[in-house]
Amino acid sequence: MKGRTRLRGVRGAGLAGLVLVLAAACTGQDGGSSQTAGEGQDAVDVRISPEDGAGEVAPNVPVTVEAADAAITDVRVEQTGGAADESGQGAGQSASPSDGDDSPVHEVTGTLSEDESTWVSDWNLAPGSDVTVTATVETSDGEQAEVASEFSTEPAVEGKRLELQSNFPTSGQSVGVGMPVIVNFDLPVENKVQVENSMEVTSEQPVDGAWNWFGDTTAVFRPKEYWEPYQHVTVDLRLAGVEASEGVYGIENHQLNFDVGREQISTIEDSEHTMTVERDGESIKSFPISNGRADVRKYTTTSGVHLTMEKYDHLVMDSSTTGIPVDSPEGYKLDVDYAVRFSNSGEFTHAAPWNGRLGQSNESHGCTNMSNADAKWFYEESLMGDPLVINGTDRQLEVDNGWGYWQRSWEDWLANSPTGEADTTDGEGTPGGVHAEEA
């Protein structure tokens, strides 16, 4: 989709002052509506597909407008109803609310051919909606004429409605420079290319990035390198009408807006039992720590590039959550303060006032122990998505352990993207198509 000229439509806008169509529509051989615009020698044929009056149109069929011997100057697509309205899930009630019905994520934009004779929609249509397509063309003598087509799309069947289950980050958050975009769906996705191409990430400072999938319900976008700090990022999830698998359609669009904050990268050298924190390229703090005692693998702190995931001012740590009964010789149940999670295998930084070996040896069950003051500082100064790099242990962080996505090289990350192409976050579209015929 990148590199083509776009003619963007505006939902529901008026067309005052344009010359109206002067002839009735007829059905073309390809199922489109062929109409005549203008009169006499200046009359031109304009074909809109899907055809006027059609019903049960698949929502992932592209809208096309073709004009013979005329220039297309405007195409507007208006949708009413839709699966989201039917289910009572309007914008603002979802896990990641869009910015209301007037958000650009709801526009059905299109790509105009170089000779301005053909327009094709960029995105799919909402299932179960009534659609009006209005095209404006300019004839050879400079007059304008308008043609229209009205049709309805196939509704999404109960149990086959792809919905956004959750996402990280959420709108309004400020995050660290390592933060990926994580999208969790409620149903498995088989047509990953179309879904991937329906999700567009735009940043103020464009970079190359790509999506990877972890299972069939989780898609993760990360840039080639860490985000530049102090910028805004928008994610348009144009899921309405995309066919996730046979007969399963997305029902609603969403827009996600977040900010990348300062660059804070923390590094732990296991052999030195020390953490160093750098902010915007300058070292601002260093303090003693104690990692996992490493007598067995499960008590070995993982090495690699971690991200801070969530934090608690108070947390009960229960060994039974990692498969070790509390009443066993190795069991524990501890109340800890200032806990910051950095994996899904039970690893946190936290205060450990009982550990008298900070800066000297590794004594924990895998967490990073700190003094109360240092743990409080790290807790207060951490944002979700801050990189935490741990060096020197013999247990490597897995790419799917928490948010270990930076453990995969960029070459491998790109190779694991179903599209196989980098997506530049410049707002100029995604690498490929979203329609059924572009699968």
Helix, strand or coil, per DSSP, at residue 377: helix
The per-residue DSSP string of 136-149 comes to EEE-TTS-EEEEEE
Report the amino acid identity of residue 349: T
Which DSSP category does 320 fall into? G
254-260 and 231-237 strand pairing:
antiparallel
Report the amino acid identity of residue 313: D
Residue 73: partners with Cβ closer than 8 Å, 6 or more residues away = 116, 136, 137, 138, 144
User: CB–CB of 240/125 below 8 Å?
Assistant: yes
What is the rounded CA–CA span in Å between residue 262 and residue 284?
A: 13
At 415, which helix (H) or strand (E)?
helix 410-415
Which pair of structure tokens corresponds to residue 348? 């946190």
User: Catalytic site residue 26?
Assistant: no
Kindly list the distances between the CA atom of residue 411 and the CA atoms of 52, 208, 399, 402, 422, in Å, as whole numbers in the listed order. Answer: 47, 12, 14, 21, 10
What is the rounded CA–CA span in Å between residue 241 and residue 343?
A: 35
Alpha helices, DSSP H, located in 246-384: 372-381
Helix, strand or coil, per DSSP, at residue 233: strand
User: CB–CB of 304/407 below 8 Å?
Assistant: yes
Which pair of structure tokens corresponds to residue 360? 């000297």
User: Catalytic site residue 306?
Assistant: no
What is the rounded CA–CA span in Å between residue 286 and residue 208?
A: 33
What is the rounded CA–CA span in Å between residue 436 and residue 372?
A: 57
The active-site residue out of 306, 350, 365, 435 is 350
Residue whose entry in the numeric block shows the structure tokens 């299109």: 110
Question: Catalytic amino acids?
Answer: 350, 367
